[in-house]
A and B are shown apart, each in its own frame.
Chain A
């Protein structure tokens, strides 16, 4: 069964007194259950817009999205997904504990404290369990977003620049965690600018440029260490691999 199916998705941002910006144009692809797919492309290519359309957070101008053959805003589909956004949230009067317990209860996790404790320890955030959210550093909030994304063991996880604010040890932790999760059959859509991470984690690449899918290949066809070449080729850039 396909975990994500996008058919002819288009999105144009209309702005007052400015020309409209076409973020996506007729994007179509399908991701099967158990796949770990890397979404790569230059800045402003439309990766985050695509993620928001897939999650139903942003209405598309045309096209269709299904998650597990259901509408992305259906509660049943939503109960199976996790999302780590590229922007971090802020909240007053909330501690890490109360925030995660709220989400665990809303999801309906039995014995939520144990599950949360385990995830916090995995992402080395357990010391901040009782701290207010407002006091967390940027990197800690990124880890909290990751904990939230994996809370309740979702079947499909969207990760938008998950390592952007993480230090190298935390990146290694995330990489190992995803490798472990891969064995459980989880589906991951992973957007990143760090090509080595994408190479090490993903088994398929979707390359987006100027709002269109310009490449969709299995990682084994690209070959280890050749992602940079693919990137350069798709953008018409000269030069050789570093």
Chain B
């Protein structure tokens, strides 16, 4: 069990390069502007809605950059080979990598939302309320969705070398949303299309957030879909990790 903390600490330090710190500060700063503007214009009046609006910008860039080449880059550079030669299993490695990216994403989320909340609460003219229980639930679902995206990105990274894995996942997500939009607008009378559109991309946690924010019934089905996707893709990632050719050499 001592392997995990040692490996996590080393990978976490390796992850946070100066470039990554500068990028994160820039993303938080730029990401805060639209959120603050939305609160000041009265479009966002609660903490839960602030979390959603801040996340739409923060998650896009943090996920895209943080999980790029999460496994593939280590295979190409030979780093993975040095780790696996002794005392580390492939499962330990891939779980540690997922946790490092997840923890780093959470840090950026938390810092961004905390700064935004402090800035907004210090302005007495604004009507901004803190709905703690709903905010906590939304934040939890955001974390689950972030974890799912990181796992998907890791799975793709196990299959292809290089750093284009997160772009691939984003492409998949965008295509899924486009087809979803098309089905809802033009082909809503096709029953099979309406059923299938929900399975194009594992969006259970996002859908659950929408249900909660719209004061609809508690989203059991969406949560179940999200949890099922998380489990299946995590298992697929472990399976794919065990088939990664670690030492890409000259022959």
Contact = CB atoms under 8 A, between A and B. Distances in A.
Interface stretch (B5-13, B39-47, B112-120): B5-13
Given A89-B78, A94-B14, A107 B249 contact: no
A52 interface: yes
Interface in B2-36: 2-3, 6-7, 10, 13-14, 16-17
Contact of B251 (A23, A102, A107): A23
Interface stretch (B84-92, B127-135, B225-233): B84-92
Contact of B250 (A58, A87, A93, A103): A87
B6 A106 contact: yes
Contacts of A47: 251
Given A81-B86, A106-B86, A89 B14 contact: no
A23 B251 CA distance: 9
Interface string A226-239: 00000000000000
Contacts of B2: 108
Contacts of B83: 106
Contacts of B10: 98, 102
A86 B248 CA distance: 10
A102 B12 CA distance: 12
B14 A57 contact: no
A106 B88 contact: yes
B77 interface: yes
A89 B250 CA distance: 13
Given A57-B81, A82-B85, A102-B10, A87 B17 contact: no
Interface residues of B, number: 29
Contacts of A105: 6
B13 A87 contact: no
Contacts of B17: 92-93
Interface stretch (B54-62, B163-171, B239-247): B239-247
A178 B91 CA distance: 34
A111 interface: no
Contacts of A90: 77-79
Contacts of A44: 251
A105 B88 CA distance: 11
B210 interface: no
B77 A89 contact: yes
A102 B87 CA distance: 12
A79 B84 CA distance: 10
Contact of A83 (B3, B6, B7, B85): B85
Contacts of B251: 23, 44, 46-49
Contact of A87 (B84, B87, B248): B248
Contact of B87 (A49, A78, A89): A78
Interface of B: 2-3, 6-7, 10, 13-14, 16-17, 77-79, 81-89, 243, 245-251
Given A44-B251, A87-B247, 13 more contacts: A49-B251, A52-B249, A58-B246, A75-B89, A89-B77, A89-B79, A90-B77, A92-B14, A105-B6, A106-B3, A106-B83, A106-B87, A106-B88
20 contacts: A46-B251, A48-B249, A48-B251, A52-B247, A57-B246, A78-B85, A78-B86, A81-B85, A82-B86, A85-B247, A87-B247, A87-B248, A89-B81, A89-B82, A90-B77, A91-B77, A93-B14, A93-B16, A94-B14, A148-B82
